[in-house]
Chain A
Amino acid sequence: MIRLDTTGPTPAEPPLEGATAVPHSHSPDSDATVPYVALDRVGLSYDGTEVFRGVSLPLYRGAVTALVGPSGSGKSSLLTCINRLYELHPGARMSGTITVGGEDIHGAGADPVRLRRRVGMIFQKPNPFPMSIRRNLSLPLSEHRLPRAEWSARIEEALTAAALWDEVKDRLDHPAQALSGGQQQRLCIARALILEPEVLLLDEPCSALDPLATEAIEQLVMGLKCCYTMLMVTHNLAQARRVADQVGVLWGQGQPGELVEFGPTAQLFDDPQHPVTVAFMQRERA
């Protein structure tokens, strides 16, 4: 079942805005005291060129972690480490360890296909397949051999969870690419949710969208917060402040990126410690 505020088994309490402590400490859920996803000194290189290095980052269930930083600092690349999508590039090498739900993603018996079912990803540019809306959603189900009898229920559930059902329920067999950009992005979220993942990676999900569609996606992300472990790359500091519980700053200009600062949202915005963060915040505000 796709977990939502209303239907989720044990929804974690949303962390309080402006809390000084790390968000998970407020949660009654014992799961949430340990990071669900943990990156330990992770680095990535393409064909020998290091993109970032030494990134350690805890991601908690029921929290949104925002990753900000200048473009080219390796934010997208960092996301692709968590679902091993970087392996699509033959020259890419990852170092360090990542655990998802306590399991090393490169450990013995680990399988990228199983990992990617648990870790959904939303891309910067909406990328529905050039097929009907229904087919976009049923394709992952059939690829993973889920019983056909469940398909239509799951499709409705996923579209509802992505706040798209009412808009498309009468035209499920229309081409997905006829949808607006915002609808396409929500379809992509539905497509990720339909596999019932535990983790969602969002790579600047709003950067190709207009303000209204952006707001809809932000609402959606907040609504999904309770039940997923989410890591969202964003360019928009105001958005990070609105949506995220904790924020990391990935910085690298002309040299491999590093996580220069990481902490609860309020602390990072009100009292940034690292000079680079201070400068970045100021530049982005201007």
Chain B
Amino acid sequence: MANLLAAQGGRPLRDGLADLATWLGVTLVAGSALWVVADVIWHGVGAVNWGFVTTAPQDAGRAGGISTILVATFLVLLVCMTAALPLGLGAAMYLSEYGRGPMGRWVRRSLDVLAGVPSIVFGLFGAVFFVQVLGLGFSILAGGLTLACMVLPILIRTTEMAFSGLPQEYRAGAAALGFGPSGILLRVLLPAAAPGLVAGLILGVGRALAETAVLIFTSGYVDRMPDSLLDSGRVLSLHIFDLSMNVPGGDHNAYGAAVVLLLILLVINGIGGWLSRRWIGRGIVAS
């Protein structure tokens, strides 16, 4: 009896401690998240104006803006997605429709491993394979292609999920109308899976935009306006890194670039969400 009472006496205290720990931990996490974001906005918003995004960097980036950086970033993303999208789409269709055999298992397994490879290692790979072996040099092309290797797993996984999530009735319905495999996939399933594909694309672009380590040894540091895809070009995230680490007095513009980067990510995610909602709203997606 005495034991029972003691246990009951101890319980509220322990429960109270558990509750306290939870609230403390959550406050800490939320506080840190807000701190990081608020700090970047606080320091960076002053640097951002129309001139900042339309003029080229000067004095190693301390002065001037980020126009050439934005162009290089856009080009790297373009190369990355041009390479990764068709490849990823084809692979995802293969996996969702024919991927139950040994070949499908092998591809899935490889992609799982690829998804785990650290980004700096992709950088090493790109520096040998695209830059040296394929002779692309430090270039937007080399950087974009290396980046494509990195986003491939996430692109394929989301796309495959979008396809295999479609009701079996669409396949049977199309087949019953005499559609061949390519007709079923390209004309019926592809449009039906479009919102999922957009989500995958957005995720991939987001990953690619945030990436730095892959590009240090592949697309390079040059901050001039790139003349062609074989020119070196410095992407936004690498610009932030370089300004804050290697350029004394570059913090101000580093923060400005960080705000722009966060804004672009926000806008891209917003567009992605809006697109899928619009699709669903028009009833084009089975709900």
Chain A residue with the shortest CB-CB distance to B192: A130
Chain A's nearest CB lies how many Å from the CB of B232?
45
CB < 8 Å neighbour of B183 from A85, A143, A177: A143
Expressed in whole angstroms, the Cα–Cα distance for A130 and B166 within the complex equals: 10
At the interface, yes or no: B285 with Cβ under 8 Å from chain A? yes
User: Which of A10-18, A37-45, A116-124 faces chain B?
Assistant: A116-124
CB < 8 Å neighbour of A114 from B170, B173, B178, B192: B178
The reply to whether B176 and A139 form a contact with Cβ atoms under 8 Å apart is no
The reply to whether A195 and B178 form a contact with Cβ atoms under 8 Å apart is yes
At the interface, yes or no: B282 with Cβ under 8 Å from chain A? yes
The reply to whether A131 and B191 form a contact with Cβ atoms under 8 Å apart is yes
At the interface, yes or no: B286 with Cβ under 8 Å from chain A? yes
Q: How large is the interface on B (under 10, 10 to 19, 20 to 34, 35 or more residues)?
A: 20 to 34
At the interface, yes or no: A46 with Cβ under 8 Å from chain B? no
8 closest A-B pairs by CB? A175-B283, A116-B178, A127-B169, A121-B176, A127-B173, A117-B178, A140-B177, A143-B183
User: Given that A129-B192, A175-B283, A175-B284 are contacting pairs, would A143 and B176 also be in contact in the complex, using a CB cutoff of 8 Å?
Assistant: no
The reply to whether A144 and B167 form a contact with Cβ atoms under 8 Å apart is no
**Which residues of A sit under 8 angstroms from B188, Cβ to Cβ?**
129, 139
User: Given that A131-B191, A143-B183, A178-B283 are contacting pairs, would A113 and B178 also be in contact in the complex, using a CB cutoff of 8 Å?
Assistant: yes
Contact string against B for A residues 185-205, beta-carbon threshold 8 Å, 1 for contact and 0 otherwise: 000100110010000000000
User: Given that A130-B191, A139-B187 are contacting pairs, would A85 and B177 also be in contact in the complex, using a CB cutoff of 8 Å?
Assistant: no
At the interface, yes or no: A125 with Cβ under 8 Å from chain B? yes
**Which residues of A sit under 8 angstroms from B173, Cβ to Cβ?**
123, 127, 129, 188
At the interface, yes or no: B117 with Cβ under 8 Å from chain A? no
List 8 extra interface pairs beyond A83-B176, A127-B169, CB under 8 A.
Answer: A123-B169, A125-B169, A139-B187, A143-B178, A143-B179, A175-B283, A178-B283, A192-B176
At the interface, yes or no: B62 with Cβ under 8 Å from chain A? no
**Which residues of B sit under 8 angstroms from A195, Cβ to Cβ?**
177-178
Chain B residue with the shortest CB-CB distance to A178: B283
At the interface, yes or no: A153 with Cβ under 8 Å from chain B? no
The reply to whether B172 and A123 form a contact with Cβ atoms under 8 Å apart is yes
At the interface, yes or no: A88 with Cβ under 8 Å from chain B? yes
The reply to whether B178 and A131 form a contact with Cβ atoms under 8 Å apart is no
Binding site for B on A (CB under 8 A): 83, 85, 88, 112-117, 120-121, 123, 125, 127, 129-131, 139-140, 142-144, 174-175, 177-178, 188, 191-192, 195
CB < 8 Å neighbour of B167 from A115, A121, A127: A127
The reply to whether B170 and A129 form a contact with Cβ atoms under 8 Å apart is yes
A-B contact pairs, 21 of them (CB 8 A): A85-B175, A85-B176, A88-B172, A88-B175, A114-B178, A116-B175, A121-B176, A123-B172, A123-B176, A127-B172, A127-B173, A129-B170, A130-B284, A130-B286, A143-B179, A143-B180, A174-B283, A175-B284, A177-B286, A178-B283, A195-B177
Chain B's nearest CB lies how many Å from the CB of A51?
17
Chain A's nearest CB lies how many Å from the CB of B120?
42
**Which residues of B sit under 8 angstroms from A85, Cβ to Cβ?**
172, 175-176
Interface residues in B245-287 by Cβ distance below 8 A to A read 282-286
At the interface, yes or no: B174 with Cβ under 8 Å from chain A? yes
**Which residues of A sit under 8 angstroms from B170, Cβ to Cβ?**
127, 129-130
**Which residues of A sit under 8 angstroms from B167, Cβ to Cβ?**
127
At the interface, yes or no: B171 with Cβ under 8 Å from chain A? yes
CB < 8 Å neighbour of A140 from B171, B178, B180, B282: B178
The reply to whether B178 and A144 form a contact with Cβ atoms under 8 Å apart is yes
Chain A residue with the shortest CB-CB distance to B186: A143
Chain B residue with the shortest CB-CB distance to A79: B176
Chain A's nearest CB lies how many Å from the CB of B228?
39
Interface residues in B92-137 by Cβ distance below 8 A to A read none
Interface residues in B149-186 by Cβ distance below 8 A to A read 167, 169-180, 183
The reply to whether B284 and A120 form a contact with Cβ atoms under 8 Å apart is no
**Which residues of B sit under 8 angstroms from A140, Cβ to Cβ?**
177-179
CB < 8 Å neighbour of A113 from B171, B180, B191: B180
The reply to whether B282 and A143 form a contact with Cβ atoms under 8 Å apart is no
Chain B's nearest CB lies how many Å from the CB of A126?
9
**Which residues of B sit under 8 angstroms from A143, Cβ to Cβ?**
177-180, 183, 187
Chain A's nearest CB lies how many Å from the CB of B205?
25
The reply to whether B176 and A116 form a contact with Cβ atoms under 8 Å apart is yes
Chain B residue with the shortest CB-CB distance to A143: B183
Expressed in whole angstroms, the Cα–Cα distance for A2 and B255 within the complex equals: 68
Expressed in whole angstroms, the Cα–Cα distance for A178 and B170 within the complex equals: 16
